[in-house]
Amino acid sequence: MTRLLHYLSLCLLSCFALAGPAHTQAQSAATASPLLLQPAAVFDGQALHPGWAVLVEGERIKAVGPAAQLAAPADARAVPLPGLTLLPGLIEGHAHLLLHPYNETSWDDQVLRESQALRVARATAHARRTLLAGFTTARDLGTEGADYADVGLKQAIDQGIIPGPRLLIATRALVATGCYGPRLSVDVAVPQGAQEVSGPDEIVRAVREQVSRGADVVKVYADYRLSAGGPAVPTFSQDELNVLVTTARGLGRPVVAHASTPEGMRRATLAGVETIEHGDQGTADVFRLMKQRGVALCPTVAAGDAILQYRGWRKGQGPEPERISQKKASVAAARRAGVALVLGGDVGVFPHGDNAREAELLVREYGFSPLEVLRQATSGNAQLLHLPDRGQIQPGLLADLVAVPGDPTQDVAPLRQVQWVMKGGVVYLTPKSTN
């Protein structure tokens, strides 16, 4: 009990260190005057509209349209955003706020050697960086050994204690017994990076437990490596995955699957998961099945790119690693099959706040247009992740808005130059901010 109280006190201290500005801004949103946002153009989630303006009242968008035709209340305050394009707050499809880059500390050492208090303190900084990078929503897919720490992190953001994106959380995630890590000697049992389960009874109990603790989504590792450097193999039977998805659906929760092998992807798709994360070895047959079943792919190209560079790959010098070539072939096959894509980079493997890295790589190395990735990061992710109240600039939706220079529908570079951020009608970043 003493240890638990000490841990909780440290978590609270880390939260209060950033509490002031976020809490004050959140309180003022409901009572502030309406804001008339005057950018050079508005990207509404689908198309660019030069000369448009947006009226915000409270935490919602009240009106949007050509500036000359937009009627604003007498008490509305004008917010000039010259030279900037206003777009919906970006949505990160795959994050781990409780991880930090592996070239700083290995995954094993983060899980085994870093206290939860330290990891939560880091995560508060990660949340702030994510928000100021223009990502006002993030799907956080597993605490990686930090138990249910994401539940408190989400609560702290929602209550205005710390600044950060709106979170969809997966809590502990599920792995087959003996099929994850960290791994030490066979004689030593160590805490695992996810919750281990075997058989239908354990699966049902774990899904119910995670949902009862606050999981918005249930994540399962449909395949994984059984040894360091070894090949990934399917780790759950078809029947086990079927039970997992059925249980989660009955509780109103979607299931997402980490899967990179064709068989792991196939089983997860047949079971009824909503998204496949990674999909490195996806084949034409698997992607056709995913298309038929309405399963989306989150390719996370930025994670593999970062990891290979950590391991010594000098990008742009010498031959391209096989893993990168395989990923490019997989993404191309998914596109040919018409599989819907979630934009998400597996951020945490690389630095939080560098979320635009996924969009950049998709444009520069995977053949996507800036408009395609911009749609994916806004209205596309909102639709696939069941977020009807955001992702577009329309009356009645949440006033989660971001402004960047130039035209991001023609050049992805502006996504790294976020100048202004609003979440729920509260402004967190302005062009003159020192944040």
Give the mean pLDDT per block of 10 residues along the chain (435 residues): 38 38 49 92 98 98 97 95 98 98 97 97 98 98 98 98 98 96 86 96 98 98 87 96 98 98 98 98 98 98 97 91 97 98 98 98 98 98 98 98 98 98 97 60
Query: How far is 429 from 423, CA to CA, in rounded Å?
Result: 10
CB 222 within 8 A of CB 257: yes
Cross-strand bridge partners of residue 49: 42
pLDDT for 3: 42
Write down the CATH superfamily of domain 90-384: Metal-dependent hydrolases (3.20.20.140)
> Token pair for residue 146?
């930090």
pLDDT of residue 11: 42
- Give the strand pairing for 275-278 and 296-298: parallel
Query: What is the pLDDT at residue 434?
Result: 42
Tally: H helices and E strands in the chain: 14, 19
Domain 11-89+392-429 CATH class label: mainly beta
255 strand-pairing partners: 218
- The pair of structure tokens assigned to 35 is 């804001």
Phi and psi angles of residue 163, each rounded to the nearest 5 degrees, phi first = -80, 145
Residue 428 token pair = 């967190």
Measured distance CA(268)–CA(103) in Å, rounded: 31
Can you tell me which residue has the tokens 């990160």?
92
pLDDT value for 29: 61
How is the chain split into domains, by residue range?
11-89+392-429, 90-384
**Considering the entire predicted model, what is its pTM?**
0.93
Instruction: Answer for the pair 223, 235: CB distance below 8 angstroms, yes or no.
Output: yes
- Label residues 335-351 b or e (16+ Cβ within 10 Å = b): bebebbbbbbbbbbbbb
- Residue 209's CB is within 10 A of a number of other CB atoms, namely 14
pLDDT for 191: 87
The whole-number pLDDT of residue 230 equals 82
Closest alpha carbon to 172 in 207, 201, 200: 207
